[in-house]
């Protein structure tokens, strides 16, 4: 049961190659050259459900923006999953799942021709994780799309929480495809070279990622935490965003938790009706005219009881859509934290500069305004010589100049960060509103479908009762 949201509608796949593609795939910065189109185009997913009243499509997968060069060139699918065994880092046998990534050129197939075979490679979940970590570190001002959950959480009792369970693997496959499409359709992330290699180079990719040295850029947890606590002038917008993100996290968690309980209960209601099937059948054995009607009605009760399995399976897609945004809140929080860190560093540099300038003033004028060890020692051990003073002054001057340079740099960094981050945040907000809206609509469509099934079964049963 593959979803095919990796494919674009026909009119998009016939886009001609871009004029500035002169054979080079990426430029010196390691970026894929291209422009970003600003129009968003939403297209429906491949789900069979559509609302008969309004014709709206129930979409399993979120809207994917077009307009990135990458998606113009290729279609991306996570087609299959397979079990493998091998030795892990501690030389022990382990079983794991690998996922097949398929890349197809986005050109249309000529009439009567056969579609080109896709380029394929296998990736396991840990490689996806590595990619994501790389993206997180390299683009800290971007809200990086989340991966599907590592272990099944918020599980409704019938579904297994086992990582090797086929249903879980299938849903994970869909989630991984979704992740790739999100990245591929992002105006900034889609140009990343490492991402491109992830899709095209099976063997050498790991080395390539490590070579970028991204691990060195990882901010320590401690650093981030202390930054959070000590920022003097937090940006109000970021504070508000973090607050919203935390609240959204809470509410979606709650929703997922309660939804599981609701599903459990509904399952019980439907299944008990199956008992009617049996008793009607037994009862029909002692009846004459009533027998046939009772027996047939009993079959419909069995059908009713069985129908809940598909209904709840369908609802899992809705839960997955909610989960994606639950995990997105973590990504949002990351961006906010990174901003805090930069802000904190900026404040530290500024503070340090002020301090140095005051020291210089002191030294120049001879007055001691701030306590300093040097000042103390000179008081205790006698004044230093003029030469010593001048060399110290020169050193301070140098330090101050350096400080001013780094302040300017940090300021620019902060400024750029804020600008690029807010661009992405606005983009994200629109995406979130659109996606969740569609998710709610598709949920409503699911409910309607469930009601219709219920009406159908009970109407059939009623007909049988009428024939009693």
Residues contributing to the site for other proteins (CB under 8 A):
51, 53-54, 56, 244, 247-248, 251, 254-255, 258-259, 261-262, 264-266, 268-269, 272-273, 275-276, 279, 282-283, 286, 289-290, 293, 297, 433, 436-437, 440-441, 443-445, 447-448, 451-452, 454-455, 458-459, 461-462, 465-466, 468
Q: Using an 8 Å Cβ cutoff, are 267 and 312 in contact? A: yes
- Region of residue 67 (phi > 0: left; psi between -120 and 50: alpha; otherwise: beta): left
Rounded-to-integer distance, Cα 321 and Cα 63, Å: 11
Q: How far is the CB of 154 from other proteins (least distance, A)?
A: 13
Tally: H helices and E strands in the chain: 11, 3
Rounded-to-integer distance, Cα 157 and Cα 223, Å: 41
* Cα 277 from chain centre: 45
Q: Using an 8 Å Cβ cutoff, are 51 and 222 in contact? A: no
Q: How far is the CB of 246 from other proteins (least distance, A)?
A: 10
Q: Which two tokens stand for residue 236?
A: 């109000």
Q: Which is nearer to other proteins, 273 or 356 (CB)?
A: 273
Strands (E), 3-114: 74-87, 93-105
Torsion sign over Cα 361, 366, 368, 374:
positive
Q: Which is nearer to other proteins, 359 or 431 (CB)?
A: 431
Q: How far is the CB of 429 from other proteins (least distance, A)?
A: 8
Q: How far apart are the first and last CA of the chain?
A: 42
Q: How far is the CB of 265 from other proteins (least distance, A)?
A: 4
Rounded-to-integer distance, Cα 186 and Cα 182, Å: 6
Q: Which is nearer to other proteins, 150 or 437 (CB)?
A: 437
Q: How far is the CB of 266 from other proteins (least distance, A)?
A: 6
Q: Which is nearer to other proteins, 177 or 324 (CB)?
A: 324
Q: How far is the CB of 468 from other proteins (least distance, A)?
A: 5
Q: Which is nearer to other proteins, 306 or 441 (CB)?
A: 441
Q: Which is nearer to other proteins, 88 or 275 (CB)?
A: 275
DSSP tag of 107? S
């Amino acid at each position: 049961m593959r979803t095919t949201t990796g494919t674009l509608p026909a009119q998009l796949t016939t886009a001609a190659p871009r004029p500035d593609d002169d054979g080079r795939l990426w430029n010196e910065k390691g970026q894929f050259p291209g422009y970003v189109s600003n129009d968003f185009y939403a297209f429906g997913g491949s789900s069979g459900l559509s609302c008969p009243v309004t014709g709206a499509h129930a979409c399993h997968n979120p809207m994917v923006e077009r307009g990135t060069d990458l998606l113009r060139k290729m279609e991306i699918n996570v087609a299959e999953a397979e079990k493998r065994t091998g030795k892990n880092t501690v030389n022990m046998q382990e079983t794991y799942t690998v996922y097949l990534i398929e890349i197809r050129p986005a050109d249309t197939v000529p009439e009567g021709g056969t579609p080109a075979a896709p380029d394929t490679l296998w990736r396991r979940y840990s490689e996806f994780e590595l990619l994501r970590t790389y993206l997180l570190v390299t683009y800290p001002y971007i809200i990086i799309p989340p991966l599907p959950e590592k272990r099944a959480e918020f599980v409704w009792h019938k579904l297994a929480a086992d990582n090797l369970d086929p249903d879980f693997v299938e849903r994970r496959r869909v989630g991984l495809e979704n992740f790739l499409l999100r990245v591929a359709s992002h105006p900034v992330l889609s140009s990343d070279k490492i991402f491109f290699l992830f899709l095209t180079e099976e063997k050498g990719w790991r080395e390539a990622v490590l070579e970028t040295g991204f691990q060195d850029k990882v901010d320590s947890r401690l650093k981030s935490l202390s930054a959070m606590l000590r920022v003097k002038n937090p940006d109000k917008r970021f504070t508000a965003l973090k607050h919203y993100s935390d609240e959204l996290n809470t509410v979606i968690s709650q929703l997922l938790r309660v939804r599981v309980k609701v599903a459990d209960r509904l399952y019980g209601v439907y299944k008990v009706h199956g008992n009617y099937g049996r008793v009607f059948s037994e009862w029909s054995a002692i009846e004459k005219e009533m027998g046939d009607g009772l027996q047939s009605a009993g079959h419909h009760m069995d059908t009713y009881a069985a129908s809940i399995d598909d209904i709840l399976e369908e609802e899992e897609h809705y839960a997955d859509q909610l989960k994606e945004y639950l995990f997105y809140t973590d990504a949002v929080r990351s961006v906010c934290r990174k901003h805090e860190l930069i802000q904190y560093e900026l404040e530290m540099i500024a503070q340090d500069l002020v301090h140095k300038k005051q020291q210089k003033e002191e030294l120049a004028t001879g007055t001691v305004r701030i306590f300093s060890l040097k000042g103390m020692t000179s008081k205790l051990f006698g004044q230093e010589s003029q030469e010593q003073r001048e060399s110290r002054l020169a050193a301070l001057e140098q330090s101050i100049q350096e400080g001013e340079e780094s302040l300017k740099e940090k300021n620019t960094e902060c400024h750029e960060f804020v600008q690029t981050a807010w661009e992405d945040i606005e983009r994200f907000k629109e995406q979130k509103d659109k996606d969740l809206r569609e998710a709610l609509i598709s949920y409503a469509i699911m409910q309607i479908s469930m009601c219709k099934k219920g009406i159908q079964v009970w109407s059939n049963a009623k007909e049988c009762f009428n024939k009693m």
